[in-house]
Structure 1
Amino acid sequence: MSLLGGSDLKEQQKINELELKINREKQKLDKKLTRQKILLGAFLVDALENDKVDGLAQYTADNLDTFLTRQGDKNLMSELISNLEKSVESPTDR
């Protein structure tokens, strides 16, 4: 056993354990935030599909593309935006 650094190993182990605990808590928080976003998105999709909020479809069609910054996201949402624009132009019996 070394005269120097014996307690340093224990302190480093304690630091490592605390870092693991912090990372687990961060993962829990990330999952919670992701779940909140998914639920909010589902709520808004329901409102759009069932025309529950006057003007929401028009607002979404007009602004979603400019809200998105990544081209991949714009490509992903282009069909939805197009469908919204069509539904606003020619509303069906609801």
Structure 2
Amino acid sequence: MSLLGGNDLKEQQKINDLELKINREKQKLNKKLTRQKILLGAFMVELLETGKVEGLTQYTADNLEDFLTRPGDKELMSDLIGNLKKSVFE
């Protein structure tokens, strides 16, 4: 038995347990935020498809591409942006 540091292992285990709890809570929060974004996106798609908000389609068509910063995101959304622009002129 060591005279010094006998409780170090217990204290380190407590720290590890707390870090694990923190990480779990961060994951829960991230999942919650992701779900909120998905639901908001679905709501916006519904508005765009139904045309319930005057000018929303035009605004989205005009600004979505500039909002996107990653080339992969721009490529992913290019068809949608094209369809929005077509629907504005119909």
* Normalised TM-score (structure 1): 0.94
Aligned length: 90
The aligned counterpart of 2:39 is 39
| Matches of 2:6 and 2:67, distance apart in 1 | 56
Indicate whether 1:88 and 2:88 are aligned: yes
**Who is 2:69 aligned against?**
69
Q: Distance in 2 between matches of 1:23 and 1:6?
A: 28
Identity within the alignment, %: 79
Q: Aligned residue for 1:54?
A: 54
Instruction: List alignment gaps of at least 5 residues for structure 1.
Output: none
Deviations 1:37-86 (A, max 9, x none): 00000000000011110000000000000000000000000000000000
Cα distance, 1:4 vs. partner? 1.5
Deviation at 1:3, TM superposition (A): 1.6
Gaps of 5+ in 2: none
- For normalisation by structure 2, the TM-score amounts to 0.98
